[in-house]
Structure 1
């Protein structure tokens, strides 16, 4: 039933929620989600729907990817997924681990790599345009004068 609700709300052709609603909920466009779903299913059999020991369909790939993304995007606790998606805490944790491992396997060469010189030059230009020349890495603002800095932080 939770799979049917998820499909009806977000993925069916005449879904309840619009593309904008989808983007707000999933923090990505629907076509990006579909590509991600297809990619993880091809690489990891965990994301292919199977039957449980009673012969009923197990959690759908849509449910598994949705649960993993919601835990990552919103910092949702695994035990809170049972109410909204009908997925137990242990299954959520397994799903999150499988999802993260699969994403690293799939995209590490393209997206999860060390920046090259071209990337560094682009980042430096972007930071300079924003008023932070020479900045690479996180900005902790320790070298900036902050007129209204709270007393406890001084």
Structure 2
């Protein structure tokens, strides 16, 4: 509830001032809190709306793997930690940034496409993808982003 109240107060405060960092730039007021709450309720709550099968289909991985990657990424790069911006408004939670980045990469869709559900803008999605890719490479390059060896090939062939 605190997040919702802070967002409401910030929106009221910013309504009287010019919005955006570029004069004439159109600012879309997204309900980021609603976006986070819906995302959490649908996929990450203790009893999510969409179960493990749909999570796997929609995220191209199992939920525990997603959460492990998200946790490691958030611990590694402060960009993914929710914080206040220069205007004092609460920023996006890591779950929204990481979900937008992963969906864009998994489905090869434009940054604009993920806005409908995740409720984050195109430029933020692009920034999230760039940061996410850099972090994933830095963290996982030695273990997962190498050429497969004979044991890896056998395991892959056995799983298929």
Structures share fold, TM-score greater than 0.5: yes
**Where do residues 52-63 of structure 1 align in structure 2 (5 Å cutoff)?**
52-63=85-96
Between the aligned partners of 1:19 and 1:7, the Cα distance in structure 2 is 14
How many aligned positions are there?
125
Q: CA–CA distance in 1 between the matches of 2:155 and 2:52?
A: 33
Matched, 1:14 2:44: no
Gaps of 5+ in 2: 1-33
Name the CA shift for 1:58/1:125 in 2 (closer, same or farther; >3 Å). closer
Structure with more helix by fraction: 2
State which structure, 1 or 2, has the greater radius of gyration over its C-alpha atoms.
Answer: 1
Normalising by structure 1, report the TM-score: 0.74
Cα distance in 1, alignment partners of residues 126 and 114 from structure 2: 10
* Pick aligned residue for 1:69 from 102, 120, 125: 102
Structure 1 counterpart of 2:117: 84
Unaligned 5+ runs, structure 1? 131-154
Deviations 1:100-154 (Å, cap 9, x if unpaired)?
0000000011112244xxx147638988xx9xxxxxxxxxxxxxxxxxxxxxxxx
Pairing partner for 1:23 from 30, 42, 56: 56
Distance 1:7 1:126 in 2: 32
Q: What is the Cα deviation at residue 57 of structure 1?
A: 2.0
Q: Write out the 4+ residue segments of structure 1 that deviate beyond 6 Å after TM superposition.
A: 124-127
1:20 and 1:111 map into 2 onto residues whose CA distance is 24
TM-score using structure 2 length = 0.71
- Secondary structure of the residue aligned to 1:109 is helix
Q: Deviations over 1:22-43 (max 9, x none)?
A: 1111111110011001100111
Q: What does the per-residue CA deviation read over 1:38-81, in whole Å, with 9 as the maximum and x for residues that have no partner?
A: 10011111111111334332111111110011001101101122
- State whether structure 2 residue 153 is matched by structure 1 residue 123: yes
Could you tell me how far apart the structure 2 residues matched to 1:101 and 1:35 are? 17
CA distance in 1, matches of 2:147, 2:152: 14
